[in-house]
Amino acid sequence: MPKPIALPTIAGLVEMKPIVHQAMEVLEFIGATKRNSVPEDTEKVREELSALLHSPSLYLYMNQSAVFWQRLIRHQKPTVLFCRNYSPVATTLFQMCMSGNILTEAFLDGNFKESDYPVLTSAAGKLTISPIRICDAREPDTFLRVLSDARRAFEYALCDWTLAGEEAAATYRLTQDSQITFLCPFGEEMETDDSFPSQHHKAVKQGHTFAKHASERIDAKMAANSKTAL
C-alpha cells in the first residue's frame, strides 16, 4: 500500500475527510422518511445538486468528474478543488455520486437504490485517503490568495467556473513557475458556437472535448515526470 502523500497546511484549503462526513450527513437526511425534518443547510445542498442536474453545463461537470476519478484519484495526484458555483459539500456529494453515475432527481428525493450504498461508501473512502484538498472560493479574493500558497504543493487544480479576464491573467502569472496544471472545462470551449443544434448537443460535445484534452495533458505530464525520474 503506497504511503500517504504529505501535503502542507494551507489557509483556505480543507482536507476531504470533514467535508465527506458532512456529505454523508446530508445523505442521511435526504434519505429520511420525514422530509419536513431536513435541516435548511441540507435542503440547500439538495437544491444545488438539483440545479446542477438541470444546468446546461451538466455534461462538462460530468466529464470533469470522470477525469477526476479515472486519472487524478486513481493515480493519487495532489489536487485542489476550487468551488465557486457550488458549495464544497455539494461538490463533494456530486463527485461521490458521479463515481457510480447515480445522481438523479429520484435519488435527491430520497429514493436510494440498494446498489447506491456501496458506490457512496467506496467513493467516501477513496476521497478521505487521497491527496485532495478543497477550497471554498466564493469570496472574491480567496481563489488567488489560496492559489498563491498552493501552486508549488499541488500538481492539478479543478475549478467549477470560467477563469476569465483579470482573474485568468493573474492565474497564468502565478502558475508560470510552478508545477500545477489547471483542468477546467469552462474556458474558451464555452464560447458561443451556432453550429450546434441545441445547447444540449453543444454541452455533450464540449464535455467530450474537455475529457479528451485533459487526459492528454495528464498523460503528457506523467510521461515527462517519468523521464525526469529516470
Q: For residue 56, what is the domain's CATH number?
A: 3.40.50
How many domains in the chain? 1
Predicted local confidence at residue 102, as pLDDT: 95
Pick the residue with more confidence: 169 or 93? 93
Please check whether residue 175 lies inside any domain of the structure.
yes
Predicted local confidence at residue 207, as pLDDT: 42
Give 25-62 pLDDT, tens digit per residue: 999 988 875 556 678 889 999 999 999 999 988 988 99
Predicted local confidence at residue 230, as pLDDT: 53
User: Which residues partner with 134 through β-bridges?
Assistant: 14, 81
User: Which residues partner with 80 through β-bridges?
Assistant: 133, 157
Mean pLDDT, the chain, integer: 83
Please check whether residue 51 lies inside any domain of the structure.
yes
Please check whether residue 3 lies inside any domain of the structure.
no
Domain range spanning residue 29?
14-229
Please check whether residue 8 lies inside any domain of the structure.
no
Predicted local confidence at residue 84, as pLDDT: 95
SS (H, E, C) 88-135: HHHHHHHHHHHCCCCCCHHHHCCCCCCCHHHHHHHHHHHHHHCCEEEE
Give 205-230 pLDDT, tens digit per residue: 444 444 455 556 666 666 666 666 55
Please check whether residue 173 lies inside any domain of the structure.
yes
Please check whether residue 2 lies inside any domain of the structure.
no
